[in-house]
Amino acid sequence: MDPIFQHDLLQTRRQFFGHTGLRLGGLALAGMLGGARAATSANNPAIAAAAAEASRIHPALAGFPHFAPKAKRLIYLHMNGGPSQLDLFDYKPKLAEQFDKDLPDSIRNGQRITTMTSGQSRLPVAPSMFKFEQHGKCGMWVSELLPKISEIVDEMTLVKTVNTTAINHDPACTFVMTGSEVPGKASLGSWLSYGLGSESNDLPAFVVLTPTWSAKANAQALFTRMWSSGFLSTNHTGVALRAVGDPVLFVQNPPGVGTGDRRTMLDALGQLNELNFQRFADPEIHTRISQYEMAFRMQRSVPELTDLSGEDAATIEMYGPDVKKPGTFAASALLARRLAERGVRVVQVLHRGWDQHGSLPSDIRLQCGDVDQATAALVKDLKLRGMLDDTLVVWGGEFGRTVYSQGTLTKSNYGRDHHPRCFSMWMAGGGVKPGLVYGETDDFSYNAVENPVSLYDLNATILHCMGIDHSRFTYKFQGLDQRLTGVEPAKVVKDILA
């Protein structure tokens, strides 16, 4: 059979019209407008801005952002496993009187609990053994475990009443990162990459860091769905940089292959892929081309990004001694700032080891030792560089911990089970009020009694800070207008907005 005829037979109607009249019409229009654009772009800032946008590797969708954003970029610090709000931010002084007493039925109110504690003969109340003090002009209560974070409370909005519907790690982490307990949805970072693109042409729009941790207990696994693009194009999937060794495997050319050789190979490969795209119209082919090109650019940008020799001594000291150890949380926090200032839209840092069912006092000390100084340094560093005003920093886990002890309770040792009804998260920077405590829980930190905030509300608020109306930010998939905030009622928490 004639190969040209065979090729034509494999075309769909859409491909046929795309290859003929409609495409020729687009060329004609481009030709008519080209001269006028060249003549006016130099004198018209709007046209110049449009040209600059067109030159971006990761451009924003047309019409995005919906309104002027307060934050241009997001740094999300996820404490994987569920940090204990009772031992960090939710101060409950009256609990000391309840030590080892049974949790009242009127507080639990029939709530389901996990199989890890449902078999216990009793649920003894375990007050935090750590001291709390008020800090900053706002007077925020913070545990002694976080002495450095206590120095930045006047930059923070602490939300004490975040709640979720998930009670186990896998669905809870999937929910907090994708807005749904059901796998397969796009993650928050992927949504922002899709809608807002990136200001960097040499780095991905969405970067993920997974630092080491110090707790002795087994940590929960991290699933790639937490930074997956789901039903969106795969070029919006987060790019995970390795904590140890080369940040990106095989990013450097092998011996004997020069940059020119690599460029020639990619050009030829791009032409072959373009021929395949013309034949099959599969958008993932263009994704593959763009990712090859990004990998080529990252051969230059990643070594420069990870080289900390240009950081001054004051900055290194601020992040602490661990910043010089590759793969630590401190090194990841500094890397997050460097990524942000290079135009990366979303940086997600996932710190494992917060699932403390037993030996909580010793393990939480180790975890806080990992993150306390570096987290505070990140916020201070962004402020010193004039970046905090347009960078949104988010800190929190997938759920909280129970007020009752899991396992044996003593004055100096206890564990805590998963608790979805209320937990603490905080935000700082672009779009949120500094020095604010929002929401209140009951005396047992078990139920939200004032201003509850669902994860849908939290994600709607994050999108709002980034200039996006969550109700209008949709993607058609499987017959539905998919949204990060789902189909459940969701609202922007306006009381915490600056």
**Furthest-apart CA pair in the chain: how many Å?**
88
- Which residues are CB-neighbours of 62 under 8 A, at least 6 positions away? none
Q: pLDDT above 90 covers what percent of the chain?
A: 73
15-29, 211-225, 268-282: range with highest mean pLDDT? 211-225
Report field, pTM of the whole predicted structure over 0.85: yes
As a whole number of angstroms, the distance between CA 287 and CA 285 comes to 5
Domain 73-496 falls in which CATH fold? Alkaline Phosphatase, subunit A (3.40.720)
Q: Indicate whether 22 pLDDT > 50.
A: no
Distances (CA, A) of 442 to 106, 107, 124: 12, 9, 17
pLDDT on residue 34: 54
pLDDT confidence of residue 464: 98
Over 50: is that where the pLDDT of 317 sits? Answer: yes
Candidate from 18-22, 95-99, 367-371, 442-446 with smallest mean pLDDT: 18-22
Contact 470, 402 (CB under 8 A): no
pLDDT at 38: 46
Question: What is the tens place of the pLDDT at every residue in 68-115?
Answer: 999 999 999 999 999 999 999 999 999 999 999 999 999 999 998 999
For 340-384, what is each residue's pLDDT tens digit? 999 999 999 999 999 999 999 999 999 999 999 999 999 999 999
Q: Which two tokens stand for residue 369?
A: 């030792």
- Identify the pLDDT of residue 243: 78
pLDDT computed for residue 299 by the predictor: 76
d(CA 143, CA 162): 19
Strand boundaries in 408-451, DSSP class E: 416-419, 423-429, 436-438, 440-441, 448-450
pLDDT value, residue 39: 47
Residue with tokens 């186990």: 168
pLDDT exceeds cutoff 80 at 423: yes
Task: For 232-246, give one letter per residue: b (16+ CB within 10 A) or e.
Answer: bbebbbbbbbebeee
pLDDT per residue as tens digits for the range 43-56: 666 565 555 566 78
Contact between 442 and 449 under an 8 Å Cβ cutoff? The reply is yes
Q: Report the 10 Å Cβ neighbour count for 489.
A: 10
Select from 154, 124, 123 the least CA-distant residue to 138: 154
Q: Is the dihedral of CA 483, 485, 489, 492 positive or negative?
A: negative
Please enumerate, as own/partner, the contacts of 282-287 that have beta carbons within 8 Å and a separation of 24 or more: 283/233, 284/233, 284/234, 287/233, 287/234, 287/235
Amino acid at 158: L
Strand 423-429 and strand 391-396: the pairing is antiparallel
d(CA 16, CA 278): 10
Angle between helix 329-341 and helix 360-384 axes, rounded to 10 deg:
30
Convert the pLDDT of each residue in 106-148 to its tens digit.
999 999 899 999 999 999 999 999 999 999 999 999 999 999 9
Give the pLDDT confidence score for residue 488 in this predicted structure. 86
- What is the pLDDT of the chain when averaged over all its residues? 89
pLDDT at 260: 80
pLDDT of 35 higher than 80: no
The strand pair at 400-405 and 416-419 is best described as antiparallel
* pLDDT > 70 fraction of the chain, expressed in percent and rounded: 88
- pLDDT (0 to 100) of residue 290: 72
| Band of residue 285 on the pLDDT scale cut at 50, 70, 90 | confident
Q: Alpha-carbon distance 274 to 490, whole Å?
A: 42
What would the pLDDT profile of 222-270 be if each residue is shown by its tens digit? 999 999 999 999 999 999 998 777 777 666 778 888 878 777 877 788 7
Is the pLDDT confidence value at 477 over 50?
yes
471 phi, psi to nearest 5 deg: -75, -20
pLDDT value, residue 1: 43
Domain spans of the chain? 3-54, 73-496
In terms of pLDDT, which residue wins out, 269 or 23?
A: 269
CA 412, distance to chain mean position in Å, is 35
Q: Residue 100 and residue 127: Cα distance in Å, rounded?
A: 9
Look at residue 218 in the predicted model and tell me its pLDDT: 85
Q: Is the pLDDT of residue 429 over 70?
A: yes
